[in-house]
Structure 1
Amino acid sequence: MSRKQYSIRRTYIGRLPEGADLLDSITKICREEGIKIGKVTAIGAVKKAVVAYYNQTEKKYYNHELNKPMEILNCTGNVSLLNGQPFVHCHITLADEEGKCFGGHLMIGTVVFACEIFIEEYEGEILERVFDESSGLSLWHPKTILME
């Protein structure tokens, strides 16, 4: 086991246009800028959202469509490579007009009302996702495990 250190190479700060798909837009920026390792954070609001829950027994995602305006309380994720392409993995927490919270894995179909994003690109060994049979997910390569 060897722990790797990373340093920030570049930081992108900006907002997404109203009507943009949140996940698709972040992915597009990462691909256009060649970001292979990074961290994503976002705040703002959405017109509607799609979040997913991963059923660990069935090894399957279940989408939940939230067809109402909501605040983005937190959206955090990472960028790594999957099949040689930048892949954005984000989780999001949203609140409705009553303060009720919803969250999960950010999916395509989440439409921006207003959104400010930060994307930090890192220098260091590339993080690559590989299929992990025990979880049924594409996770970072086993060499990135921090503790045995």
Structure 2
Amino acid sequence: MAATSSSLSVFALRLGPGQELLSSLQAFVEEKQLKAPFIITCVGSVTKATLRLANATADNTNQVIQRQERFEIVSLVGTLNPEAHLHICLADKEGRTIGGHVLGDLEVFTTAEVILGEATDLNFTREMDSRTGFPELVIQKRQEQT
């Protein structure tokens, strides 16, 4: 395990009813040309979600659920490089939770208040890892601009 430190920039966004959370965040990252973005925190609600469950493997990626009901976002974490890797935990009207890897289709119900961070000295990419069968995070120091 290698750890790399970096300076931090912080961005605050508020998404409104009907916006799709993942694609909205990816558009913001692209617009701002962020190289090492990640979720610091998020609160809000959605009316539907498409998630890949924890028992999915590289050979069995069809462990996907689609839900269409009102949920509170109780946690959203991950990185937002071009191949975003986000996990979400949602609570239903009874307080029961469901979570998994975000595939998209997260339609905002009332609001999504998102605080993003960017490690300003780093660059996040993804490369296929033969051990896991998935594209995994690669962390690199940014090259100095001359």
Normalising by structure 2, report the TM-score. Answer: 0.84
Map residues 79-118 of structure 1 onto 2, 5 A cutoff: 79-80=80-81, 86-113=82-109, 114-118=111-115
Aligned to 2:69: 68
When the two structures are aligned, how many residues end up with a matched partner?
138
Task: Indicate how the Cα distance of structure 1 residues 65 and 26 shifts in structure 2: closer, same or farther if over 3 A, else same.
Answer: same
Question: CA offsets, 1:33-78, max 9 Å, x none?
Answer: 0011022131110011111125237352522111100100011111
Do the aligned partners of 2:124 and 2:139 also contact (CA within 8 Å) in 1? Answer: no
Moved >6 Å (runs of 4+): none
Structure 1, unmatched stretches of 5+, are: 81-85
Task: Indicate how the Cα distance of structure 1 residues 142 and 59 shifts in structure 2: closer, same or farther if over 3 A, else same.
Answer: farther
Give the deviation of 1:133 after TM superposition: 1.5
The question of 1:49 aligning with 2:49 is answered: yes
Structure 2, unmatched stretches of 5+, are: 142-146
Question: Over aligned residues, Cα RMSD in angstroms?
Answer: 2.1
Normalising by structure 1, report the TM-score. Answer: 0.83
Give the deviation of 1:2 after TM superposition: 5.1
Give the deviation of 1:87 after TM superposition: 3.2
